Amino acid sequence: MSKVIMKLEDIRTYYYLRKGLFKTLVVKAVDGVSLEFRAGETTAIVGESGCGKSTLGRTSLKLIEPTSGKIIFEGKDITHYKGDLKWFRKKAQIIFQDPFQALNPYHSIYRILSEPLEIFGERKREVIEEKIVNALEEVKMHPPEEFLTKYPHMLSGGQRQRICIARALLLGPIYLVADEPVSMIDASSRAEILTLFRNIQKSRDLAIMYITHDIATTKYFSDWIAIMYAGKIIEYGPTREVLRNPLHPYTKALIEAVPDPDPENRFKIRPVIPGEPPNPINPPPGCRFHVRCPKRFDPCDKKEPPLKEVKKDHYVACFLFT
Partner 1 sequence: MSEKLLEVNNLYLYYRTYKGIVQAVDGVSFWVPKGKAMGLVGESGCGKSSAANAIIRLLPSNTHRYEGSIKLDGRELMKIPDEEFRRKIRWREIAMVFQGAMNSLNPVIKVGFQVAEPLIVHLGMNKKEALERAREMFIKVGLSPAFIDRYPHELSGGMRQRVVIAMAMVMNPKLLILDEPTSALDVSIQAQIMNLLKELKKEYNLSMIFITHDIALASDISDYLAVMYAGQIVELGPIDKVLVDPLHPYSQKLIASIPRLRVDREPEFLPGVPPGLINPPKGCRFANRCPYRMEMCEKEPPLFDVTPDHHVKCWLHGGEHS
Interface residue list for partner 1 (CB under 8 A): 48-49, 156, 158-159, 186-192, 194-195, 213-217, 219-220, 243, 253-263, 265-266, 269-270, 272-274, 276-277
The smaller minimum CB distance to partner 1, of residues 89 and 252, is found at 252
Q: What is the DSSP string of 59-108?
A: HHTTSS--SEEEEEETTEE-TT--S--HHHHHHEEEE-S-TTTSS-TTS-
User: 67 and 16 in contact (C-beta within 8 Å)?
Assistant: no
User: How far is residue 279's CA from residue 46's CA, in Å, rounded to a whole number?
Assistant: 18
User: How far is residue 175's CA from residue 192's CA, in Å, rounded to a whole number?
Assistant: 21
For the CB of residue 272, give the shortest distance to partner 1 in the complex, in Å. Answer: 5
The smaller minimum CB distance to partner 1, of residues 24 and 188, is found at 188
End-to-end distance of the chain based on CA atoms, in angstroms?
28
For the CB of residue 137, give the shortest distance to partner 1 in the complex, in Å. Answer: 16
**DSSP-assigned beta bridge partners for residue 87:** none
The smaller minimum CB distance to partner 1, of residues 21 and 269, is found at 269
User: How far is residue 306's CA from residue 235's CA, in Å, rounded to a whole number?
Assistant: 10
The smaller minimum CB distance to partner 1, of residues 12 and 252, is found at 252
The smaller minimum CB distance to partner 1, of residues 34 and 189, is found at 189
Please confirm whether the linkage preceding 143 is cis (ω < 30° from 0).
Answer: yes
For the CB of residue 279, give the shortest distance to partner 1 in the complex, in Å. Answer: 9
For the CB of residue 266, give the shortest distance to partner 1 in the complex, in Å. Answer: 5
For the CB of residue 283, give the shortest distance to partner 1 in the complex, in Å. Answer: 15
Is beta strand 308-311 parallel, antiparallel or unpaired with respect to 76-77?
unpaired
The length of the chain is 322
User: 289 and 229 in contact (C-beta within 8 Å)?
Assistant: yes
The smaller minimum CB distance to partner 1, of residues 114 and 222, is found at 222
For the CB of residue 218, give the shortest distance to partner 1 in the complex, in Å. Answer: 9
